Amino acid sequence: MNAQASPQSPATVSDSFVTAINAGDLTGALALYRDDAVMLAPDGGQARGTKAISDLLAGIISMQVQMTTRIKSVIEIGDIAVAAEEWTMRLRGPDGTTTDQGGQSFVLFTREHAGWRFLLDAPWGL
């Protein structure tokens, strides 16, 4: 992802995220998060800030993930948007076996001078 890109909608943020993750572009994926963003981990823990989020995403990328997302609904109110998304991931383990996962996520976006960004990313729900 071009680090200068300014996502013009919440859907663009999600699309850019999938493109970055599928390409193994951790820097591009992180550019879509605010510095103070929170991502909920599969175990229910909270990754706060881009360093903690980077650690989670690096683990996913290391599994040669192929991901898709589809926004089911989005509500924009000024500079805030909330979305419900469906996602799928195919992960490849160290032994070459693949695992398919899917779920529904809750995402909170904010719009700032650099375009829309993730503020809260709850890929496994709240």
* Residues above pLDDT 70, as percent of the chain: 96
- Can you list the domains of the chain with their CATH numbers? 10-122 (3.10.450.50)
pLDDT digits (tens, 9 = 90+) for 22-79: 999 999 999 999 999 999 988 889 999 999 999 999 999 999 999 999 999 999 999 9
Q: What is the DSSP string of 69-100?
A: EEEEEEEEETTEEEEEEEEEEEEE-TTS-EEE
* Phi, psi of 22, deg, nearest 5: -65, -25
User: Is residue 53 within 8 Å of 37, Cβ to Cβ?
Assistant: yes
What is the helix (H) or strand (E) element at residue 47, kind and residue range?
Answer: strand 46-48
Do 1 and 28 meet the contact criterion of CB atoms below 8 Å apart? Answer: yes
Answer yes or no: are the C-beta atoms of 16 and 116 closer than 8 Å.
Answer: no
pLDDT at 2: 45
pLDDT category of residue 126 using cuts at 50, 70 and 90: confident
Our measurement of the distance from residue 62's CA atom to the centroid of its chain's CA atoms, rounded to an integer in Å, reads: 15
pLDDT of residue 125: 79
Mean pLDDT of 12-21: 96
pTM of the model: 0.90
